[in-house]
Amino acid sequence: MTVLTFDTIAAASTAGDVSGPGSFIFIAVAIALGGAVTTLIFRRRSQASTDAATGGVADVFSFIIAPAPPLADRVAELRTLVGETSAPPRMTRYTRPVVVGNNVALTITDKKAGALVTIPVSYITSIEARPVALKPHGTLIATSYPAVWVTVRRDDTEVAVALAPIVAPYDKVSPAEAQALAAELAIRLGLLTR
């Protein structure tokens, strides 16, 4: 019986014999380690994005959303709706948009690009949780994500935008968590008291 150690795996791989279970264990460990490192990097960058968006204030309600299409198009429509005349900042797959809500406005912001759009509370008509099909950058197939839908109305124009909360690179939240985020956002914006 052969005991699997890194020495026996290395010896087997240099001898050309990689058919044993040791090579599969080594690959599985490497993949797991890569996933853990990716998650840690995402959390560190996300925390930096959230701190930059909220100014380090602890009592601000915020969550990170997926930058997947059609978010950039919806942000451009929202900017037009609220009267912004400048072009919207470019969003890439590395953008970490943060939704910040308080009793004055809902802001979608990014650490590097700054405020993508600021929507006054008086323009927001509804907030609800329901799924959205997103096709993240670099993927071929759309995936269903639980999302917080915000409907914005000004005069006769109405735009609904899906804000899909994420906890890791395109790792979606559960439908119950999306429901809780929608309820908390409605409370923070004061929509339940209107």
* 85 shares a domain with 179: yes
Q: In the predicted model, is pLDDT for residue 168 greater than 80?
A: no
* 22 shares a domain with 117: no
The C-alpha atoms of residue 37 and residue 31 are separated, in whole angstroms, by 10
Q: Which domain holds residue 22?
A: 6-49
* 182 shares a domain with 119: yes
User: What percentage of the chain has pLDDT greater than the value 70?
Assistant: 78
Give the residue with greater pLDDT, 82 vs 33: 82
Give the residue with greater pLDDT, 11 vs 143: 143
**Token digits for 38?**
């990716």
Q: In the predicted model, is pLDDT for residue 184 greater than 70?
A: yes
Q: In the predicted model, is pLDDT for residue 63 greater than 60?
A: yes
| C-alpha 102 chain-centroid distance | 19
pLDDT for residue 3:
57
* 82 shares a domain with 173: yes
Q: Count of domains in the chain?
A: 2
Cis peptide before 70 (omega within 30 of 0): yes
- Answer whether residue 70 is part of any domain: yes
| CA angle centred on 19, ends 18 and 23, rounded to 5° | 55
- Answer whether residue 1 is part of any domain: no
Lowest mean pLDDT among 48-62, 99-113, 140-154, 166-180: 48-62
